[in-house]
Amino acid sequence: MPSQLPDTKDIPWADARDTDIVIPILGPIGSGKSSFLNKYLEAIGDSRRLEVGKNREQPCTSQLEFIVIEGRANLPHPLVNRRIVLVDTPGFNDILASDFKTLVRIRKWFKAS
């Protein structure tokens, strides 16, 4: 397992490919980023789920998490057999971390992955 990025619990993605389509899910705390991803996973028949916070005061996503969806034949032509990588990110407007610090973490994760 790859080691964590310095000063975070974020684990870089070690299997990145040039053909991957990476989609970070960004938004404020409690806006439903993890819930959105769970609904998408449910809709495509994937059993994986992300932990979801209870409310804006108790966010759950404290580190970047990624979900790799292997190429699917039922996608539009340019996407067939390409992997889609959905990245769940910590929310903005956090009292424990500035938005700038959160963006720096996301940038470091992308650079390391």
Q: How far apart are CA 44 and CA 17, in angstroms?
A: 22
User: Which residues lie closer than 8 Å to 98 by C-beta, 6 or more apart?
Assistant: none
In-domain check, residue 100? yes
How many structural domains are present in the chain?
A: 1
Q: Model pTM?
A: 0.80
Give pLDDT tens digits for 37-78: 999 999 888 899 988 876 666 667 788 889 998 876 666 666
Would residue 9 count as lying in a domain?
no
The residue range of the domain holding 58 is 23-112
- Please check whether residue 28 lies inside any domain of the structure: yes
- The pairing of strands 21-25 and 65-69 is unpaired
Question: Is residue 95 in some structural domain?
Answer: yes
* Domain-located, residue 91: yes
- Residue 18 domain-assigned (yes or no): no
